[in-house]
Amino acid sequence: MSTSVLNPSNKKQDSIRDMQIADLGQVVAIEQLISQSPWSLKQFEQSLDDATVLARADKIIGFVVIASVLGEAEIHNLAVHPDYQGLGFGSLLLDDALAQLPESIRLLHLEVRASNFPAIRLYLQRDFVQMGERRDYYKTEYGREDALLMSKRVGTDKD
Active site residue 84: no
Output 24 or 123, the one with its CB closest to ligand COA: 123
Nearest position to ligand COA, beta carbon: 90
Q: Whole-number minimum distance, CB 92 to ligand COA, in Å?
A: 7
C-alpha separations of 103 from 20, 59, 77, 153 in Å: 24, 31, 21, 12
Active site residue 31: no
Output 29 or 104, the one with its CB closest to ligand COA: 29
Question: Which residue is catalytic, options 111, 141, 142, 145?
Answer: 111
Output 55 or 159, the one with its CB closest to ligand COA: 55
Long-range CB contacts (< 8 A, 24+ apart) of 44-52? 44/19, 45/21, 47/76, 47/77, 48/18, 48/19, 48/20, 48/21, 50/76, 51/18, 51/19, 51/27, 51/77, 52/1, 52/16, 52/17, 52/18, 52/19, 52/93, 52/96, 52/97, 52/100
Question: Which residue is catalytic, options 31, 84, 123, 138?
Answer: 123
Output 105 or 122, the one with its CB closest to ligand COA: 122
Q: Whole-number minimum distance, CB 113 to ligand COA, in Å?
A: 7
- Contacts with ligand COA by CB under 6 A lie at 34, 78-80, 85-91, 110, 112, 116-119, 121-122, 125
Positions marked active-site: 111, 123
